[in-house]
Amino acid sequence: MSSIICPHCKAELIRYDKTYKCEQNHCYDLAKEGYLNLLPVNKKKSKSPGDNDLMIAARRHFLEQGYYNPLIEAIRNTVKEELNFKKKTFKVLDSGCGEGFYTQHALRNKHPKSQIFGTDISKYAVKIAAKKYKDNFFFVSSAYHLPVATQSMDLLLSVFSPNDPKEFHRVLKTDGYLIVASPAENHMKQLAELIYNDFRPHEHKIEEDLAAQFEVHLGKRISFDIYLKSAETLQALHKMTPYYYNTSKEAQDKIANCNDITVTCDFHLTVLKPIQK
Ligand SMILES: C[S@@+](CC[C@H](N)C(=O)[O-])C[C@H]1O[C@@H](n2cnc3c(N)ncnc32)[C@H](O)[C@@H]1O
Ligand SMILES: [Zn+2]
């Protein structure tokens, strides 16, 4: 059974060559890169929702240099060693997957039968994810209206992306897990200090935000420093952050001239289990 459902009538979507169809004949064509656009026009709040091409390209440039590898490793190890999966093949969804780096590097395991899905509201992101990571299946959709069958996923991953507790609870199997990566107190402290006069530590509210639907299985803190030796890389990191659109010209110049900086990466990795009601 396909785990992807029609965003209009919620019936299962079946593949016929290059098209997916539901029983009511709603049709979705595969794009040439191999992804589906399942975001109904009436669910779009702007013409191109989500991260734009500039942010997505910056994210790919930064991640591919390996700066966040300790976080990737931590997610991989958590899935392998700390979740009580009885079987080796999973159905996994990376929600708000961006350009697909985590979908591929944190989730793909040695089992060709595992089905790995990635979704993001940004068409740019999904397009380049699908183009590069052919073993996974990507589709454009909102985390608040996932075109995913109820109780179909063993694992959900959400890395710095919007979380919808009810929707995540619906798509997860009863014995499934949700892994959320979110910024911890000192994340990007030095970058924020270049931009603002005072640094406000990040608040951690994930457990509270998800508490009605999920209980915490385990929590880890992952902190490490990265050394950026070129202004280009610092600029890529800057474009990945929400600070980008709130940066004065003066701060932009500081970033453009900074060829040597240590930046703290500080994350919470929270593993949650759906509460059975
Ligand atoms: C900070 S980025 C993280 C991307 C990726 N998980 C990573 O860490 O590389 C947040 C992502 O959430 C996506 N996004 C924003 N609103 C969304 C929504 N309502 N549904 C799904 N994705 C959304 C953005 O397009 C963006 O790719
Ligand atoms: Zn339909």
Segment holding 61, helix H or strand E: helix 53-63
Alpha carbons 151 and 148: distance in angstroms, whole number: 9
Residue-level pLDDT at 47: 81
Task: Output the CA 242–ligand 1 centroid distance in Å.
Answer: 11
Q: What is the location of CATH 3.40.50.150 in the chain? A: 35-180+200-221+267-274
Compare 253 and 1 and report the one with higher pLDDT: 253
168-182 in b/e form (b: 16+ CB < 10 A) is bbbbbeeebbbbbbb
Share of the chain above pLDDT 70, in %: 100
Q: What is the pLDDT of residues 114-162, one digit of tens each?
A: 899 999 999 999 999 999 999 999 999 999 999 999 999 999 999 999 9
Q: How far is CA 124 from CA 35, 52, 55, 146, in A?
A: 11, 7, 10, 18
**Measuring from each residue's beta carbon to the nearest atom of ligand 1, which residues come in under 6 Å?**
50-51, 59, 96-98, 101-102, 120-122, 125, 142-144, 159-162
Residue-level pLDDT at 43: 73
Q: Which of 47, 94, 121 to mutate to test the pocket of ligand 1 (most atoms within 8 A of CB)?
A: 121
Residue-level pLDDT at 199: 81
Q: How far is CA 114 from CA 92, 96, 126, 135, in A?
A: 8, 20, 20, 10
Residue 89 pLDDT exceeds 90:
no
Compare 203 and 71 and report the one with higher pLDDT: 71
Residue 14: both structure tokens together:
């079946």
Residue 44: both structure tokens together:
């779009």
Region 67-83 average pLDDT:
94
**How many angstroms separate the first and last alpha carbons of the chain?**
26
Residue 86 pLDDT exceeds 80:
no
**Nearest alpha carbon to residue 30 among 115, 126, 116, 94:** 126
Q: Which of 43, 51, 164 to mutate to test the pocket of ligand 1 (most atoms within 8 A of CB)?
A: 51
Atom nearest to 241 CA in ligand 1: 1
Among the bound ligands, the one closest to the CA of 11: 2
Residue-level pLDDT at 40: 87
Task: Output the CA 30–ligand 2 centroid distance in Å.
Answer: 16
Question: Do the bridges between strand 91-95 and strand 137-140 make them parallel or antiparallel, or are there none, so unpaired?
Answer: unpaired
Kindly report the pTM of this predicted structure.
0.96
Residue-level pLDDT at 146: 98
Share of the chain above pLDDT 90, in %: 78
**Average pLDDT in the chain:** 93
CATH topology of domain 35-180+200-221+267-274: Rossmann fold (3.40.50)
Region 190-197 average pLDDT:
89
